Amino acid sequence: MSLMKNILGREIPVKVNGRHVIPYMGIGQHKPAGRKTGPPIPSGADYQKSKLLKSLEEALDRINLKNGMTISFHHHLRDGDYLINRVVELLAKKGLRDIVLAPSALFPVHEKLVDYIKQGVISHIEGSMNGPIGKFCTTGQMNKVAVLRSHGGRYRAIQDGDLHIDAAFIAAPTADPHGNANGVNGPSACGPLGFALADSLYADKVIVVTDNLVPFPAWPWSIEGGNVDYVVPVEKLGDPEKIVSGTTKINTDPDRLKIAELAARLVRDAGLIDEPEFSFQAGAGGMSLAFVQYMAQYMREKKVIADFVRGGSTKLLTDMLKEGLTRFILDGQSFDLAGVESLRNNRNHIETNPFVSYNYHTKGCFAPRVKASVLGGTEIDLNFNVNVNTHSDGWLLHGIGGFQDAADAYLTIITAPLYRKNNPIIVDRVHTVTAPGETIDAVVTDYGIAINPQRQDLSERLKNSDLPVISIEELYQKAVSVTGKPNKPKTKDRVVAVIEWRDGTVIDAVRELEIS
Amino acid sequence: MSLMKNILGREIPVKVNGRHVIPYMGIGQHKPAGRKTGPPIPSGADYQKSKLLKSLEEALDRINLKNGMTISFHHHLRDGDYLINRVVELLAKKGLRDIVLAPSALFPVHEKLVDYIKQGVISHIEGSMNGPIGKFCTTGQMNKVAVLRSHGGRYRAIQDGDLHIDAAFIAAPTADPHGNANGVNGPSACGPLGFALADSLYADKVIVVTDNLVPFPAWPWSIEGGNVDYVVPVEKLGDPEKIVSGTTKINTDPDRLKIAELAARLVRDAGLIDEPEFSFQAGAGGMSLAFVQYMAQYMREKKVIADFVRGGSTKLLTDMLKEGLTRFILDGQSFDLAGVESLRNNRNHIETNPFVSYNYHTKGCFAPRVKASVLGGTEIDLNFNVNVNTHSDGWLLHGIGGFQDAADAYLTIITAPLYRKNNPIIVDRVHTVTAPGETIDAVVTDYGIAINPQRQDLSERLKNSDLPVISIEELYQKAVSVTGKPNKPKTKDRVVAVIEWRDGTVIDAVRELEIS
């Protein structure tokens, strides 16, 4: 495998699965050429009969998949999804081989795909692999190289024609016989369906699978019937309890609460709350939720109304909307039942998709309009590069999610404990780079806050603050003084996955682990 | 100019403006090939600065238009629009020539464009020409051949790459600095903005022009900022009184009321109201409104709730929604203030666009789901062909509107008086064909109802009805017995416009009038 180095000095393959790689060149340096791709032009004459099919088997018979073709899925049903396993099982029964699986993400529930990868039914994954499939990938047993993309990067790849989807299977909590579909109603309600939008627009064949068939029109139509070939009613799309949680829980660990508070104070003391067009984004992890709570408290104190807050939505955010602390929620996925209910009923809770939120190959998405974005990571290094994909022991266990995209905010904050068990989180060099240091503005730990030296303007904003600002080197020294300098994972030459930057260039490669 | 005959025997050019013509072949007979077109792939790096410009002049400087390029506009501001005239005036000042003007429609307010066509600033129009521009076109003074398309046909042409737009100017009653835009708020509120959707998705450059700039996010975002290059605030987009009427008026002429009542009885007696999935569509003309009133009355009597009614929305339809007579309004354009207000406030009043409603080159649009569609026409002939473009004196005075698309309903009814002044409306042969007889199911006049003999199923449904059903030949004889057989208009060989069928084939040509 020929290799080359990108601008970060990372060794990456020249070709991936036969396709030439463009090396990461720095933010905004790679300029795309050409035109967006288009799906085949259909004729209404071919869609006069009912689109309703009896079963997934019938759908697979109709679409005439061939070996080597690419199929896609969204991950809004998260760890509750039944569809991916079921479709792959049926493909195996049909004797298909070398299928490229292009889900927006895989979860532990999809562990049984390992067998189909071993058997050669699936050649490789283009998509996020959370947990077991990622772990399996790291062992080097996948036939081809996996491709990791952010939410925005996946939309971009499909839109730009880098990722051609032959057939998209869209799990739809509600759909009508025309193929209009949404995620806000039905027993498998998950909230938005935006991760499936690109698939519906650009795939050659689109199959909507639903356990809640309603009369036309299913409204809202997050997925439009005019893009859909077939509608397949099934008994159950997934396990509702694993699709969204009943409630999301705020972290109560005092160290984590301290980090959340420091992050919120950083946003406040930088003066962002007091400026017009305030907005923020935080995830659904316990520490992020705690951050939201502090943020809400500061906004109340200062009588500030945000122009918008960015979901993943949770009860905390929907409460802020109800309380009038924000004009809108711009929601990409709902994490709990309150999020789903609010999206269904509150007109100012807006469903978004990666085109509007995160896609870098647009005439602007809203990611850079977010004033403060609070994100997590597995490792941060002295150059502020962040790793969210592999752990420091080298295992590939996470997708990129929206990390690269959300890091486009005015103030991107990484919150992390200084170390976990015996692993320092601040390291000299991250095992793999998910996002380059130039996109990261501050790292908030329980031992202090490091500001990226490239952001002198931010240091300036904080000069009257009593926040514990120290250098990233100091954080690193402190971390290794506790944990000791850990051994780096031993890897083989083989590249098992590449990490694409959101513009389609490759920022790093994941290598096969040497397993002792 | 080489000519050929299409399947209806109409003589049409072999080429139009250098492009090969596909002759109309019958419904569903022309199968498209290839893939949908795509706009240039943009990079977010080029959209980091503000999109806000000071003036239309600055926008024109930025987009660098060249002679012969195509610019587009929507017609949601109808006869109140200020934008088209203003932009063309500025293009003329810049010395540009041979510009192709591709509005979804032109109105009497655009009469001053005649001068710019004469001067060669505009080479020709691809779009609907209601009134003076159409009249001018018929005189043969346009440099090239105009192309008429239905609402759905226009979306199709843009999507399929037949109509390439270099720059789209989108009049937006509300917009934010990102370019998100809608028509439901602001002093120039017009309701939906769907006629501009294809332009925003496929044009190389997209300029949003607004007289109501609001903070991000402008919600709903009928037009998405990710497709928009520039945002230009202007003082006034148009004349609100001519954009939507305060109220729409129901016809009170007894003959017209009789026609409306007969049409409503036809829908009722055909048993459509009693069947599941009932829906209907009617325009905003006085006779159509009267039809809606009768329809509502029959639905009340039968305690029927429609699955949806199709707008153009009016107070009558929004009252039906409020009363619970329909689950949804699927709205393409609002005709009065009540329509705009309902779209803004009622979640079951759904904004639609020609992709979902009318585009034939989709995996199905909803036009064929409409059970009964009531439309008007200038002429209907013995083969049930309908003309809505030219008058029987040969003048081109109307666009196609949604006529061809709405005629895809299960029961398409043409309502018309038997004659107007000395002109019979039922004729032996229409001057130009807008829609072929096979799409027209019934003609309702004040002298009786003719059912298309191809619809034996419909005659069967009506066998116990006391409706005055007679043959189209009888209607014709009756008409000419009153008016006398009128002279046919004298035309020259020159083709001044072609009428495209919704699938992109050419169904007829409009010829230059010999003016005595």
Quote the crossing angle between the two packed helices A315-323 and A337-345, to the nearest 10°: 40
Task: Determine the pLDDT at residue A468.
Answer: 98
CB contact (8 A) between residue B42 and residue A32: yes
Question: A180 to chain B: nearest residue by CA?
Answer: B356
Q: E strands of B322-389, at which residues? A: 329-331, 349-351, 372-375, 379-381, 386-387
A253 by DSSP, 3-state: which? coil
Q: Round to whole Å and give the CA distance between B428 and B472.
A: 10
E strand or H helix at B209, and its extent?
A: strand B205-210
Q: Round to whole Å and give the CA distance between A498 and B34.
A: 32
Q: CA distances (Å), B238 to each of B85, B187, B214, B233, B234, in order? A: 11, 9, 18, 13, 10
Chain A residues inside the 8 Å CB shell of B30:
43
Position B476 pLDDT exceeds 80: yes
* Model confidence band, residue B515 (pLDDT cutoffs 50, 70, 90): confident
Question: B370 to chain A: nearest residue by CA?
Answer: A216
CB contact (8 A) between residue B217 and residue A178: no
**Min CA distance, A189 vs chain B (Å)?**
19
CB contact (8 A) between residue A39 and residue B35: yes
Return the number of other C-beta atoms located less than 10 Å from residue B356's C-beta.
27
Q: Round to whole Å and give the CA distance between B59 and B179.
A: 14
Q: Quote the ipTM score.
A: 0.97
* Model confidence band, residue B15 (pLDDT cutoffs 50, 70, 90): very high
Chain B residues inside the 8 Å CB shell of A227:
362-363
CB contact at 8 A, B100 and B126: yes
Return the number of other C-beta atoms located less than 10 Å from residue B414's C-beta.
26
Residue A370 within any structural domain of the chain: yes
Chain B residues inside the 8 Å CB shell of A178:
364, 366, 369
Residue A273 within any structural domain of the chain: yes
Considering only the beta carbons, identify the residue of A32, A45, A229 that sits closest to B43. A32
Token pair in block for residue B343: 């779209």
Task: Determine the pLDDT at residue A355.
Answer: 98
Identify whether residues B237 and B285 lie together within a single domain.
no
Identify whether residues A450 and A328 lie together within a single domain.
yes
Tell me if chain B has a CB within 8 Å of the CB of A246.
no
Task: Determine the pLDDT at residue B491.
Answer: 97
Express each pLDDT in B327-342 by its tens digit: 999 999 999 999 999 9
Token pair in block for residue B413: 């009814």
Considering only the beta carbons, identify the residue of A225, A328, A355 that sits closest to B226. A355
Identify whether residues B219 and B283 lie together within a single domain.
no
Return the number of other C-beta atoms located less than 10 Å from residue A48's C-beta.
11
Identify whether residues A199 and A262 lie together within a single domain.
no
Residue B380 within any structural domain of the chain: yes
Whether residue B220 has a cis bond before it, omega within 30° of 0: yes
Q: Round to whole Å and give the CA distance between A466 and A462.
A: 8
Identify whether residues B191 and B277 lie together within a single domain.
no
Identify whether residues B167 and B236 lie together within a single domain.
yes
Give B 12-31 residues with CB within 8 A of chain A.
27-31
Block residue for tokens 């500025």: B90
Domain termination site, one of A184, A219, A243: A243
Q: What angle do CA B431, B398, B173 make, to 5 degrees?
A: 165
Considering only the beta carbons, identify the residue of B35, B307, B368 that sits closest to A215. B307
Token pair in block for residue A160: 């730009």
Q: Which of A70-74, B96-100, B286-290, B400-404 has the lowest mean pLDDT?
A: B286-290
Express each pLDDT in B272-283 by its tens digit: 999 999 999 998
CB contact (8 A) between residue A307 and residue B33: no
Question: What are residue A15's phi and psi, to 5 degrees?
Answer: -130, 145
Domain termination site, one of B243, B267, B283: B243
Q: Round to whole Å and give the CA distance between B34 and B23.
A: 18
CB contact (8 A) between residue B41 and residue A33: yes
CB contact at 8 A, B284 and B248: yes
Token pair in block for residue B373: 């569609």
CB contact at 8 A, B212 and B174: yes
Domain termination site, one of B180, B208, B243: B243
How many domains is chain A built from? 2
Give A 270-289 residues with CB within 8 A of chain B.
277
CB contact at 8 A, B189 and B226: no
| Arithmetic mean of pLDDT, B249-260 | 90
Give the sign of the dihedral formed by CA A473, CA A476, CA A482, CA A485: negative
Residue B46 within any structural domain of the chain: no
| R_g of chain A, CA atoms, integer Å | 22
Strand partners, A81: A238
Task: Determine the pLDDT at residue A25.
Answer: 98
Identify whether residues B260 and B193 lie together within a single domain.
no
Residue A12 within any structural domain of the chain: no
DSSP H stretches of helix in B35-124:
56-63, 83-93, 113-119
Task: Determine the pLDDT at residue A489.
Answer: 96
Order of strands, edge to edge, in the sheet holding A70-73? A122-125, A99-103, A70-73, A167-172, A205-210, A230-233
Identify whether residues B308 and B206 lie together within a single domain.
no
Token pair in block for residue B251: 């016809």
* Model confidence band, residue B70 (pLDDT cutoffs 50, 70, 90): very high
Q: What angle do CA A200, A205, A207 make, to 5 degrees?
A: 70
Task: Determine the pLDDT at residue B300.
Answer: 98
CB contact (8 A) between residue A363 and residue B40: no
Token pair in block for residue A495: 């590249």
Q: Round to whole Å and give the CA distance between A201 and A184.
A: 20
**Min CA distance, B272 vs chain A (Å)?**
17
Stronger pLDDT, B508 or A311, i.e. the higher one: B508
Considering only the beta carbons, identify the residue of A43, A179, A350 that sits closest to B219. A350
Query: Helix count (H) and strand count (E) of chain A?
Result: 15, 30
Considering only the beta carbons, identify the residue of A38, A226, A362 that sits closest to B363. A226
Q: Round to whole Å and give the CA distance between B276 and A215.
A: 10
Q: Name the burial class of residue B515, with classes exposed (0-12), middle (13-18) and buried (19+) by CB atoms within 10 angstroms of its CB.
A: exposed
CB contact (8 A) between residue B366 and residue A35: no
Residue ranges for chain A with pLDDT beneath 50: none
Considering only the beta carbons, identify the residue of B227, B328, B362 that sits closest to A44. B362
Tell me if chain A has a CB within 8 Å of the CB of B226.
yes
DSSP H stretches of helix in B97-253:
113-119, 132-138, 151-160, 197-202, 240-243
Whether residue A271 has a cis bond before it, omega within 30° of 0: no
Position B516 pLDDT exceeds 80: no
Tell me if chain A has a CB within 8 Å of the CB of B37.
yes
Establish, for the pair of chains A and B, how many residue pairs have beta carbons separated by less than 8 Å.
184
Compute the mean pLDDT over every residue in chain B, rounded to the nearest whole number: 97
Tell me if chain B has a CB within 8 Å of the CB of A68.
no
E strand or H helix at A161, and its extent?
A: none
CB contact at 8 A, B60 and B93: no
Question: What are residue A247's phi and psi, to 5 degrees?
Answer: -145, 155
Domain that holds residue B423: 254-490
Task: Determine the pLDDT at residue B1.
Answer: 82
* Residue B500: HSE in the Cβ half-sphere, 13 Å Cα cutoff: 31
Chain B residues inside the 8 Å CB shell of A40:
34-36
Q: What angle do CA A78, A82, A85 make, to 5 degrees?
A: 105
**Min CA distance, B155 vs chain A (Å)?**
13
Position B246 pLDDT exceeds 80: no
CB contact (8 A) between residue B35 and residue A40: yes
Identify whether residues B67 and B158 lie together within a single domain.
yes
Q: Round to whole Å and give the CA distance between A105 and A125.
A: 10
Identify whether residues A231 and A288 lie together within a single domain.
no
Residue A497 within any structural domain of the chain: no
Position B116 pLDDT exceeds 90: yes
CB contact (8 A) between residue B45 and residue A39: no
A277 by DSSP, 3-state: which? coil
**What is the DSSP track for A85-143?**
HHHHHHHHHTT--SEEEEESEE-GGGTTHHHHHHHTSEEEEBSEE-SHHHHHHHTT-SS
Chain B residues inside the 8 Å CB shell of A365:
44, 226
Residue A132 within any structural domain of the chain: yes
Identify whether residues A226 and A289 lie together within a single domain.
no
Question: A205 to chain B: nearest residue by CA?
Answer: B363
| Arithmetic mean of pLDDT, B73-93 | 98
CB contact at 8 A, A379 and A386: yes
Percent above pLDDT 70 for chain B: 100
Domain with B89 in it: what CATH number? 3.40.1080.10
CB contact (8 A) between residue A363 and residue B159: no
Tell me if chain A has a CB within 8 Å of the CB of B492.
no
Residue B31 within any structural domain of the chain: no
Identify whether residues B422 and B274 lie together within a single domain.
yes
CB contact (8 A) between residue B361 and residue A215: no
Q: Is the pTM of this model over 0.95?
A: yes
Question: B365 to chain A: nearest residue by CA?
Answer: A226
Position B213 pLDDT exceeds 90: yes
Task: Determine the pLDDT at residue B86.
Answer: 98
Token pair in block for residue A10: 């990372």
Position B8 pLDDT exceeds 90: yes
Express each pLDDT in B272-330 by its tens digit: 999 999 999 998 788 999 999 999 999 999 999 999 999 899 999 999 999 999 999 99
Whether residue B283 has a cis bond before it, omega within 30° of 0: no
First-to-last CA distance in chain A?
A: 24
CB contact (8 A) between residue B44 and residue A224: no
Q: What angle do CA B180, B181, B183 make, to 5 degrees?
A: 165
Give A 103-162 residues with CB within 8 A of chain B.
159-160
Task: State the pairing for strand pair B122-125/B99-103.
Answer: parallel
Token pair in block for residue B288: 């159509």
